[in-house]
Structure 1
Amino acid sequence: MGKISTEFYKPYLINFAIFSLIPIVFFHIHWLYDDEKWYYSTGAIILYVIAIFLELTELNNNELRPTAKWFVRHRYLLAGAMIALNILMIVNSIIRLVGFWENIVVTFMLAIVIMYLPIVVFFHCADEEREFSHLKSTKLSTKQWSLLFGFHTILAALYATQFLFDGSSLGKEELVLNFRMVRFICQLINILSIPMSYQAILSWNSDKLRFKGKYPNTTMEWKGLMKRNPDGTWEIDQTPEDHNIFIV
């Protein structure tokens, strides 16, 4: 199950980033600002390009190749980033009613999340020389499945409270359109981010990871298992009987 979920997860993330996140962020910023809207909406796309460029630069450095530690960590961070994106878009839609500096702070935080999302997608999908995946035996318990769907149901209910707010009080038509869009977009992102939360829990359950790539300083194919030590570090598992789990 772990292997299958990883194989489907990569194309899912790529399509989600291209066909969902970019249009959502673009229109959110496009409608949020008036005279400067083209400047800021274009700026959002530029943030994506900068983040992708930085990621490609890092991937060319062998010392920065993905590790088992970051394979797990980025799955935690991506699930959290999707929740942060939703919350920040909501706050950013109404923060102008509070004050100018509060708006600057929230916009800056949103920019950080926007830049991080393409980076984490690249870390999930781009590097084929060191590829990690979950074992087939790694699964979610019944309690964890209930927690997963229960958590996203609670988020959906909280996001639905936006419909109790009269968006017309925001004044400008662009701000009203943005707020009305965000109310629906938050629900959409909440649903589409369930696989990311699933992967985060799956990573939490993983004491061992499958890996494949090239043996250091050679062109030989290298496959095996990584195991997590009690102190949180990862190392290559040398136990023969454990490798029998890997060879299928």
Structure 2
Amino acid sequence: MSSRISDPTNIVPADKVPKSTAPDVGWRKNPKQQRAVITAEALTEATRQIIVREGFKNATTNRIAEVAGVSVGSLYQYFPNKQAIVKALIEETVSSAATRIRVCLRELMDAPLEPALHQIFKLLFEIYKENYFILFDIVDEIPEMREYSKSISIGIYTNSTNVAFLEQHAHELSVTDLRSALMIVEQATIRNMQHFITENPTNLTEDQLIDELTKMAVNYLTK
């Protein structure tokens, strides 16, 4: 196994989606000035509210502009259609969540594996609860977004830091193929959290779920 990293605060640059697979949001004009950024954010937030409360069919460009408090002309300065706004909303949600995860991972590089995983899983669960519709349900509401959503995920955006975290804890692990182990832990964790949020058939508490997922991951990675 690889040796521990001497400076965990400088392990990797911010994870980036490879250019060959980076999703195209479809901006008509990428906002750079503060006023433009505020307008674009207002449009994506308005789209989020409308889709969640009224459904995608009611998220017309006129309705989005109305809720955002801007003119339709301003909307079309930045986005060619409502689908492009939804893509920007997904990217914004995933990017923000990934930043929170990366910060947590870097802060826990030198912490023992089990408590570190527990804290990471707790944060991940909070993110999924806060953004469940955008991260999971939106593909059912808008099937044409399914392929786009596959190309952009928290796991993709945090992959380098995730692997670095496992490398930093290599002395505690029994697995040798870290990328495969990461994939297995990620998928098992995500599916269980998703199932818990939507159904919770076992009546576990949130704390119990995080405890059990932590035990599962630690047992797999170290036994």
Under a length normalisation based on structure 2, what TM-score does the superposition of the two structures give?
A: 0.29
Indicate the structure (1 or 2) with the bigger Cα radius of gyration. 1
Under a length normalisation based on structure 1, what TM-score does the superposition of the two structures give?
A: 0.27
